[in-house]
Structure 1
């Protein structure tokens, strides 16, 4: 985790976001079965009551019914499953990112 802090801070600064510290036991929802699709998409939403999940991460376009593919994992588990998204996880609520294997990167704050 420590190795990503500086990169996270720089990314937050680059995209005009507050830095939100990421803890090893924070939880994200990830659709692991879709990670072979591109692009990889991450969305930071407001944490709902009774939940600790702020990030939703998936690959490609989700088809109807695929919302059920999400499983909850800790940041420590995410580091093992898909470390490429680690630099983005300190972005504040409302941010989204899109990346692919060809070094494409798009980061923005959604209007909502």
Structure 2
């Protein structure tokens, strides 16, 4: 039986609708790989099936990634690396630092960032203070800034990968830098002396 992109897109939809489990996706992939009856002649189909077969060495099977697999199967941009691998953001970080005359000062992805509750809103603001123990010094928020104690919540920097991965491209900026970005490509980056002295 020939496996088509349409077949895999239907599986993506079933997973996203809760009609098939992660184990069901893995079993489908494993059966397809080892079956003498299944066939496909498409690199995207092949990549997807082999990625589904082993999430330990590929991408986690979750809703965010399933939407990305579906996009790729539909012929759209492949963003799985951007949403899953921290190191895919190193070169963009260096380019941004060079463009705005900042030292490239990368952070440890396991350390904490302060974020506001809803990072899906635009625009996004970010500023980098000096780091303290266990933190990166970065604070990121959307909407109106607030001085309330509960405005920022700490999360590990790497969790931004599956929330708003484009933020990571700015996290190599040095202490004292700020940014303002949105999903439409707006970008403003500047150095704020007051922050660097705090």
Give the structure-2-normalised TM-score.
Answer: 0.51
Q: 1:83 aligns with which of 158, 165, 168?
A: 165
- After superposition, residues 7-86 of structure 1 pair within 5 angstroms as 7-31=92-116, 33-48=117-132, 50-63=133-146, 65=148, 67-86=149-168
Q: How many residues are aligned here? A: 109
Q: 2:181 aligns with which of 83, 99, 102?
A: 99
Distance 1:62 1:22 in 2: 24
Q: Compared with structure 1, are the counterparts of its residues 52 and 79 closer, same or farther at alpha carbon in structure 2 (3 Å cutoff)?
A: same
Distance 1:14 1:71 in 2: 30
Render the CA deviation track for 1:58-95: whole Å, top value 9, x for unaligned: 00212453x41311111221212221201000000000
Cα shift at 1:36: 3.5
- Larger Cα Rg: Structure 1 or Structure 2? 2
Cα shift at 1:39: 1.2
Choose between structure 1 and 2: higher helix proportion. 2
Distance 1:36 1:63 in 2: 17
- Report the aligned-residue RMSD: 1.7
Gaps spanning 5+ residues in structure 1: where?
none
Residues 127 and 176 in structure 2, CA contact (< 8 A), matched pair in contact too: yes
Distance 1:37 1:78 in 2: 14
Distance 2:106 2:131 in 1: 15
Distance 1:12 1:96 in 2: 12
Could you list the structure 1 runs, at least 4 aligned residues long, displaced by more than 4 angstroms after superposition.
none
